[in-house]
Amino acid sequence: MNLHAKETWYRRLFAVTAFSTLIFLAGIIVTLFHGAWPLFREVNVIDFLAGRAWYPTHTPPEWGILPLIAGTMTVTAGAMLISVPLGVGSALYLYEIAGKEKHFIKPLIEILAGIPSVVYGFFGMAVAAPFIRNFLDLPVGLCAFTASLILGIMAVPFICSLTEDALRMVPKSFREASLALGASRWQTLVKVIVPAAGSGISTAVILGMSRIIGETMTVLMISGGAAVIPKSIFSPVRPMTSTIAAEMGEAAMGSLHYHALFGIGLVLFLMTLLLNITAEFISRRFRLKLGLTQ
């Protein structure tokens, strides 16, 4: 085969791989809408989103997913409170302070990212939940708080490495300029580098949030599973993801319950899509601000 023909083939091959993503995405979107459609013929969207009771197997059944949305929100908010300070803090440490330590701390953080979520679930059930129950004297250890804690730790490596990337994208020349004006390293970090990386860091946080929202196995194991609007962070909750995972096996195929689970999937998808679009929008502004693109 001559060189030119080879090149044409490579181009085609990679084009196919790239466009396959598009096909999968389209397939998923179509499936979600198609699966959820029968539900919305019987249940009004507002009742679905704002209904306060989720009783899919009662007669008559109730299809309100507000408790599930509240569960997801509670766990996500709690997890963010843990993962953002820890993730951004470790990134700042790795970027500015760490010397030789960096060579073992960074791989360790990355190992944290590689642990399967079911293992986090085990840890949560076997260690964190009993400890938290005893320590805080709660009726149950499997609750939103425990789930937040574990999910928060899971998101740390993700937020940390994206934040570190954002910091490293800030041109070295800003740092030099600041130091040459007599600023200390700390002032340079706080007044120049972090503001310049600001939208990159926001992107990291938003993508971390979208991950936490989508996490399933861990929350299924440790959030407690109660489909009620939580009274506090220490109540058991049932986030949207674990609802789908737990009930999909039981719901008869083609039943309204089955379609309602697709409906939840669709809502989840739209939520994370919105977050990802926001993140993309912010990160574009970030590159523009640093003069990395025109």
Partner 1 sequence: MDKSQNIRIRVDEVNFFYGPRQILNRISLDIFNQCVTAIIGPSGCGKSTLIRLFNRMNELVPHSRLEGKIILDGEDINSSLRNVVDIRKLVGMVFQKPNPFPKSIYENVAYGLEVNGVKDKLFIEEKVTDSLKKAALWDEVKDRLEESALRLSGGQQQRLCIARCLAVEPEVILFDEPCASLDPISTKKIEELCWELKKDYTIVIVTHNLQQAARIADYTAFLYLGELIEFGETDKLFTVPQNKKTEEYLTGKFG
Q: Which residues bind partner 1 (CB under 8 A)?
A: 171, 173-174, 176-184, 187, 191-192, 195-196, 289-291
We find the least distance from the C-beta atom of residue 180 to partner 1, in angstroms, to be: 4
Decide whether 132 or 194 has the Cβ nearer to partner 1: 194
Torsion from C-alpha of 167, 172, 173, 175, nearest 10 degrees = 60
We find the least distance from the C-beta atom of residue 16 to partner 1, in angstroms, to be: 40
We find the least distance from the C-beta atom of residue 101 to partner 1, in angstroms, to be: 15
We find the least distance from the C-beta atom of residue 84 to partner 1, in angstroms, to be: 23
State the SS3 of 26-46. Answer: HHHHHHHHHHHHHHHHHCCHH
Decide whether 133 or 287 has the Cβ nearer to partner 1: 287
Decide whether 170 or 244 has the Cβ nearer to partner 1: 170
List Cβ neighbours of 147 (8 Å cut-off, separation of 6 or more): 75, 78, 79, 124, 218, 219, 222, 223, 224, 237, 239
Decide whether 178 or 210 has the Cβ nearer to partner 1: 178
C-alpha–C-alpha distance, residues 224 and 143, integer Å:
5
Decide whether 249 or 291 has the Cβ nearer to partner 1: 291
Asked if residues 230 and 70 have their Cβ atoms less than 8 Å apart, the reply is: yes
We find the least distance from the C-beta atom of residue 191 to partner 1, in angstroms, to be: 7
Token pair for 180: 């040459």
C-alpha–C-alpha distance, residues 11 and 146, integer Å:
49
Decide whether 194 or 221 has the Cβ nearer to partner 1: 194
We find the least distance from the C-beta atom of residue 276 to partner 1, in angstroms, to be: 25
**Cα 19 to the chain's mean position, in Å?**
25
Asked if residues 222 and 158 have their Cβ atoms less than 8 Å apart, the reply is: no
